[in-house]
Structure 1
Amino acid sequence: MPQTIAFTKGHGTGNDFVLLPDPDGELELTDDQVAVLCDRRFGIGADGILRVVRSAAIDEGRDAVTAGAEWFMDYRNADGSKAEMCGNGIRVFARYLADGGWATIDETPLLIGTRAGVKSVTRSELGFEADLGTWRVDPAEVLVRARGLGVPRPGLGIDVGNPHIVVAISNADELEALDLTVRPQLQPDPPRGANIEFVVPSDPLVREGVGSIRMRVFERGVGETLSCGTGVAAAALAVRHWAGQAAPDRWTVEVPGGTLGVRMQRVRGDLHVLLSGPASLVYSGEVALA
């Protein structure tokens, strides 16, 4: 008999996930099972799986236990591959824990273990805000080829716990003309792959001290998605990097699925990037594993 498991469908600005409660770490999913669950014709349909597991019940959660994070976000891309982090997913994960009474988030930040380290989530005006930690700019130039782009463009590497390549686009028409049904080609191709963001600045770029950009993204292991939380943060950081020292520390980023907020602030002496936005739980049910 096929195993039947409970699930909840959720999303953050259209970046959607299947959440699987597995507090004691008893569920072992193959890549194929993840892919079927995420399939939009033969499964539930999602950009990825969020397994809700206690940090103590998963080998990758040992450091999270030490840091005081009871829960670990075991994130898998739609093709079954493991990913380090997901900015939209962690907000949905926090919403699931809070709404289900698994954890509290109102009095103190909620600590969540990920493969990119322990992240803290709080409530915010936009819904929830996740501290993604520090970031790293890769000075090595990557050449990006994409269908509909015309000529190859240079991309900037930004690592916010997972790898990104950000490409500047000159105008909105060029952004809309991109065909992201085909994976853009990177030269050189990063060994772990990368999410690829295409951004266009608003006009004006900065209004009342807040920067504004638009973005589309191709996520590794998934394809084009309506939103990518860590990609939104990487895009804002890249434009801030290009703009120079006068660039603001607060940004709004428009993606096909909505609008997200990004800000930079000092945390114990280090400059962190924080991502804020909505998190929605759509429905719950049961599904038989293939």
Structure 2
Amino acid sequence: MRSHDETSDGNGHMTIRIGFVGCRGTDSFDLGESLRPLIPVGCDLVLMTIPEALEMVEAGCLTLVIVALDSGCWRDSVTMMTDLHAVGQRCGAVVFGLVPRDDPAALVRAFDLGVADVAAMPICTHEVRARLAARVRRRMVAAARAAEMRAAWRLAVIDPLTGLFNRQHLETILPAAIDSARAGDRPLAVLMVDLDSLKPFNDRWGHAAGDRMLRNVADALTANLRASDTVARLGGDEMAVVMPDTDIETARRIAARLVTVVAALKLGKDNVAITISVGMTTLVEATDDAETLLLRADTALYHAKQNGRNRVAEAA
């Protein structure tokens, strides 16, 4: 996901937003304007006051903040650099300092406060241009690496057809959920979900329509569960749901709601419908592990199928 400080111009070109703030507030804007020709291509410079800068960094709207200690009494304003650096560390922005050339104490103080880089004032255009370009390049490289890592992670744990997690991720998340539930003495529920009569549906309407229906069901399940719940496709038309902090009564209500929601789905101009069956279980025994929970939920799913489908069955 792209952060707020990175926008696209519609042609795939990324724009990085850079903020400028000076010790003298709006009176520093002339200095900020003089920096505009030195900003790297693909970057947008925004002049702002200290409160505005803090708000935008907090909101994730800035990649880099240029802070100018452009007052003779800069020591009285150095807190702004401290505050911006602290917020930037939390929100992914970095601080670039402009310090008086004839005051070594300002340079030392800036680095003490954790700025990423500094340049001296009066500014040397070549120095500032080069330092800002280097800082932006680092940001671009970091963003590219992060995108590659996200893509690799998705390939490893996401089912490409439905967008749900895959079996491999379930095999990681379910044991962790069991351990967490036991450690906090909290409930845990597991559902096994299977589409009813998908093969006849595919035979009549085609596998492409079946894939669309499967995606629609996956979306409906996700939309009606919490962000803390995990929905994974096990293969074919079978899915598992892991629900932390969910007792048996709550699990019953949720499972019944999922059956109702899916039964209301329609596909295409013919309003074709499909239903699901759900098997459910909860963590009850000290010896329960991931394999045991999934087996119990799967057995309950079998009973739901045997008893007419489009319903919920609980593990004995």
Q: Which TM-score applies when normalising by structure 1?
A: 0.24
Higher helix share: 2
* Bigger RCO of structures 1 and 2 (CA < 8 A, at least 6 apart): 1
Higher strand share: 1
Q: Which TM-score applies when normalising by structure 2?
A: 0.23
Larger of the two Rg values belongs to structure: 2
